[in-house]
Amino acid sequence: MSLKVNKGPTARELPLPGSIFYKEDLKEIFSTLNRKSNDGGVAVVVSINGDEYEIDEMDDFDNPEITSQKFRSIRYEASYEGSSVVVDISREAGKVIELRKDDDIVMTGVADKVLEISQRREDNLRTFTLIILGSCTLVPVYLFSARFLVGPLIALFGLLGIPITREILVEGELLGLIVAFLYMPVLMFALSKMRIKGNAIINHRKGRSNLLREKLFKNWQASAFWAMASATIGFLMGKFF
């Protein structure tokens, strides 16, 4: 009896970084998935807002019924002779799931191309803003610690045999270092729960989206925002370092 090995498709999952997808990006993802070969084409089906709308042609993105909708989520399913690529994009998260046969060359590189599109539109401004806002909370946390934790810390260091005075803690800014050391892990955990990897799906072309984050880079609001951000960073660096 001859040995027969039935090798199934290899699965791979790629998380998306958290991006702003405009209509041209949604179309580019469709075009990337919609490959052709001599034996036929890849079947692509797109589900919008769950199963509220379903399209299978790129021109359908410009259908008046579709252009009037707000996109909460979008899911692409591309399949070709046992291989498939699924792209899930929502406000909470995004991922690409590739299930490709080893001998399939038609779907080769498709998942990586979708990831590349997402990385090109990564929402770095939101990440930066969340970090700045989180860092600003260090100030009230520090003031709270200076008022209520100095005594307990002195007592704790005393039990450990380390002579510490209020002057060393507060004026020597040891308290600030302790607070920053303990608070940063809490801050990073909080940021991880604030949908920092979520996506914005804009059913307009980039020039017509009118997002605040774009205005920040186009007019006087940008100068005010970055001036405030720089001042905050400078204050925190001077205070704690």
| Domain residue ranges in the chain | 10-120, 124-240
Quick: pLDDT tens for 197-219: 678 899 988 865 555 455 555 45
107-133 CB burial, b ≥16 within 10 A, e <16: beebbebbbebbeebebebbeeebbbe
User: Distance (Å, rounded) from C-alpha 105 to C-alpha 83?
Assistant: 10
Q: What percentage of the chain reaches a pLDDT higher than 70?
A: 59
Over range 212-234, report the average pLDDT.
Answer: 54
Per-residue model confidence (pLDDT) at position 220: 44
> 162 falls in which pLDDT band (50, 70, 90)?
confident
Mean pLDDT of the region 122-136: 68
Residues contacting 23, CB < 8 A, separation 6+: 61, 202, 203, 204, 205
Which has the higher per-residue pLDDT, 160 or 230?
160
Percent of the chain with pLDDT over 90: 32
CB 33 within 8 A of CB 132: no
- pLDDT for res 126: 63
On the question of pLDDT at 237 being above 70, the answer is no
Q: Is the pLDDT of residue 111 over 60?
A: yes
Residue 118 identity = S
Give the Cα separation of 106 and 42 in Å (integer): 8
Amino acid identity of residue 128, one-letter, is: F
pLDDT one-digit tens code per residue, 12-48: 999 998 899 999 999 999 999 998 876 778 999 999 9
Query: Would you say the C-alpha torsion 74, 75, 80, 83 has a positive or negative sign?
Result: positive
User: Is-contact 137 36, C-beta < 8 A?
Assistant: no
Q: Is the pTM of this model over 0.75?
A: no
Please tell me the predicted confidence (pLDDT) of residue 194.
54
Q: 102 falls in which pLDDT band (50, 70, 90)? A: confident
Q: pLDDT tier at 116 (50, 70, 90 boundaries)?
A: very high
The residue among 188, 234, 217, 209 whose CA lies nearest residue 180 is 188
Q: Which amino acid is at 142?
A: Y
As a whole number of angstroms, the distance between CA 211 and CA 92 comes to 19
Average pLDDT value for the chain? 76
pLDDT band for position 240 (cuts 50, 70, 90)? very low
pLDDT for res 96? 96
The predicted structure's pLDDT at residue 24? 94
Q: Do residues 23 and 31 make contact, with C-beta atoms less than 8 angstroms apart?
A: no
